[in-house]
Amino acid sequence: MRTNRLVAAAITLAATTGPSLSDTTVSDLVGTWTTPLSEQQALGGGASAFLRQVVVFTPVRQDLRAEVFADPDGEVPLFTYASSGPYEPVGPSEVVDGALNLELVNDRSEVTIFVEAPDLMAAVGMAECDLVLGEAVDVSSCISGPPFLVTDCVDLDLVLVDEGGSRLRFGDQSVDRCETRPTALDATEFRKAE
C-alpha cells in the first residue's frame, strides 16, 4: 500500500509542476537558424523594409546576419549587417526553464550595402560609416545608434532550443546585456535550417 501512495504522490507532483524542459546544450545550438522575412517599419515612420535574421552556431562561435530587403519576397537586397565572435556557455538559466546562459564577445561587425541609400543608413545609425557598394566594411567604430549597436562588452544572454530541437530563442533583446542578463525570452523565433 505504501508503494501505491508514493506512486500517487509522484503523479500528483508531476501533474502540478507541469512538464519539465530539458536543458539546452551547446550541441543543441550547433547549426544554422533563420527567421522568416518580417516587415519592419522604419524609425520615424518612413518606408518599411523586410528583415531576415540568420544565426550560425559552431561549438565555439556565433555568426549573426541581419539581411534587409526592399521587398517581401527577399529579392531586392538593401544591406546586410554581420557580426560574429566566440561564446562561452556558463550553465543553465536560473530564471528561464531549459535555457542556457551564454557570454558572447563580438569581434567582427561589418555592413555590406547593395544600394546607395544615405537616408536609410542614417536611420539605422550608420550615417558616419564610409560604406562601399557591394563590399563588407568594418562598422565597429562608426555606428551611432540602434538597431545595430556594436558592443565592446561581454554580452550576457541566454538561449533556449525547444520544440524538438527545431526552434531557437534568445533572451529579451530590449535589456542592456552589457549590464544584466535577460530574465525572459525574446519574441523572435529562429527555425533550424540545417
* pLDDT the model gives residue 42: 64
Distance between CA atoms of residues 66 and 54, nearest Å:
7
Give the SS3 label for residue 119. Answer: helix
* pLDDT the model gives residue 79: 92
* pLDDT the model gives residue 4: 40
- pTM as predicted: 0.81
Give the SS3 label for residue 16. Answer: helix
Distance between CA atoms of residues 53 and 37, nearest Å:
8
| 20 grid coordinates | 519539465
Distance between CA atoms of residues 132 and 166, nearest Å:
37
**Which stretches of the chain score pLDDT less than 50?**
1-20
CB neighbour list of residue 34: distance below 8 Å, 6 or more residues apart? 52, 53, 54, 55, 190, 191, 193
55 in Cβ contact with 33 (< 8 Å): yes
Distance between CA atoms of residues 118 and 121, nearest Å:
5
First to last CA, the chain: 51
* pLDDT the model gives residue 41: 74
Residue 173 CA to its chain's centroid (Å):
8
Torsion sign across C-alpha atoms 149, 154, 160, 161: positive
* pLDDT the model gives residue 175: 84
Distance between CA atoms of residues 132 and 93, nearest Å:
41
149 in Cβ contact with 143 (< 8 Å): yes
